[in-house]
């Protein structure tokens, strides 16, 4: 059995289309493979996420995402990559691409002009709560090797650091981080020289990813956090991994709009035994 596979870079940097953003594998299916097969393919791909999707009877797209070691309920960059495949390769020309996943119904809006295409995720907001008390804060400070201004929790722990240097120079103890009771840990600050409202990095060693290049789902929490802190609903951000990526955000009552550009890097065929 042969399956098509596409590798799409999602949330690429505005100043560097090639070798930036977060690469995701996208695999369209006629019907679901077994969970074991999909997990094995994701491990073989060895990218932070692989998307598998099928078309439903009501002409939506049902998405599932796998890291090399586990299935996750929501993934932003791989959804952006999937929208690229559906729109530009499978030629679905709807202005809004309807999707469904473990967390419910989501959608991706296509924002296109003459020479530019941008995709905008409509994701649920996960407004974080401030962590009170010093015990966990001190523990995370030791793991990060950086002073924490404030600590917040939603799906992820979010550590606000003092400035850009603290975010860029953070060298976490990943072994100790795996023992934290959270999906992942993000570090962030609004104090930066990049002209962005805020910058961030995202660490998920418990999910098999020490540092993710660009993490769309992290902005479900980062956008509400910085919207409240900065008093503005429209925000620009950069995730400052080695590859880096640029994200435009709109925080609203209905959720978070997470927008970015994509680049079609590679495609091929997966050969599976019949």
CATH number of the CATH domain containing 32: 3.10.310.10
Please say if 49 is a catalytic residue: yes
- Shared domain check, 141 and 101: no
**Mind listing the pLDDT tens digit for each residue in 98-122?**
999 998 999 999 998 767 899 999 8
- Shared domain check, 184 and 225: yes
Estimate to the nearest angstrom the gap between the alpha carbon of 96 and the chain centroid: 19
State which H helix or E strand residue 9 sits in: strand 2-10
State which H helix or E strand residue 153 sits in: strand 148-153
pLDDT of residue 17: 79
- Shared domain check, 263 and 222: no
**Mind listing the pLDDT tens digit for each residue in 198-250?**
999 999 999 888 999 999 999 999 999 999 999 999 999 999 999 999 999 99
Which entry of 36, 49, 114, 211 is annotated as an active-site residue?
Answer: 49
**Mind listing the pLDDT tens digit for each residue in 118-136?**
999 988 899 999 999 899 9
Assess whether pLDDT exceeds 80 at residue 182.
Answer: yes
Three-state secondary-structure class, residue 143: helix
Domain residues for 224?
A: 129-253
- Shared domain check, 8 and 47: yes
Mean pLDDT (the chain) is 95
- Shared domain check, 77 and 170: no
State which H helix or E strand residue 77 sits in: helix 76-84
- Shared domain check, 151 and 227: yes
Contact 12, 20 (CB under 8 A): yes
Structurally, the chain folds into a number of domains equal to 2
- Shared domain check, 105 and 157: no
Question: What residues have CB less than 8 Å from 174, skipping those under 6 apart?
Answer: 203, 205, 210
Assess whether pLDDT exceeds 90 at residue 38.
Answer: yes
Assess whether pLDDT exceeds 80 at residue 251.
Answer: yes
């Amino acid at each position: 059995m042969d399956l098509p596979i596409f590798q799409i870079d999602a949330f690429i940097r505005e100043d560097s289309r090639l070798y930036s953003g977060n690469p995701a594998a996208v695999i369209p299916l006629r019907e679901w493979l077994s969970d074991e097969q999909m997990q094995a393919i994701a491990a073989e791909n060895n990218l932070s996420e692989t998307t598998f999707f099928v078309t439903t009877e009501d002409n939506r797209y049902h998405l599932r995402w796998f890291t090399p070691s586990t299935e996750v309920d929501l993934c932003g960059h791989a959804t952006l990559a999937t929208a690229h495949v559906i729109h530009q390769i499978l030629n679905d020309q709807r202005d809004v691409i309807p999707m469904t996943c473990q967390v419910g119904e989501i959608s991706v809006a296509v924002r296109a002009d003459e020479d530019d295409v941008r995709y905008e995720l409509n994701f649920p907001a996960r407004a974080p709560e401030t962590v009170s008390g010093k015990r966990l804060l001190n523990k995370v400070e030791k793991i990060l090797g950086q002073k924490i201004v404030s600590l917040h929790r939603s799906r992820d722990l979010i550590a606000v650091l003092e400035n850009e240097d603290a975010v860029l120079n953070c060298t976490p103890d990943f072994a100790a981080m795996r023992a934290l009771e959270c999906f992942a840990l993000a570090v962030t600050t609004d104090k930066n020289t990049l002209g962005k409202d805020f910058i961030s990095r995202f660490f998920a060693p418990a999910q098999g990813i020490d540092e993710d290049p660009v993490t769309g789902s992290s902005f479900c929490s980062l956008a509400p956090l910085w919207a409240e802190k900065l008093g503005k609903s429209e925000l620009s951000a950069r995730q400052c991994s080695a590859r880096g990526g640029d994200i435009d955000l709109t925080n609203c009552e209905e959720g978070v709009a997470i927008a970015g550009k994509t680049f079609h890097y590679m495609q091929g065929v997966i050969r599976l035994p019949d």
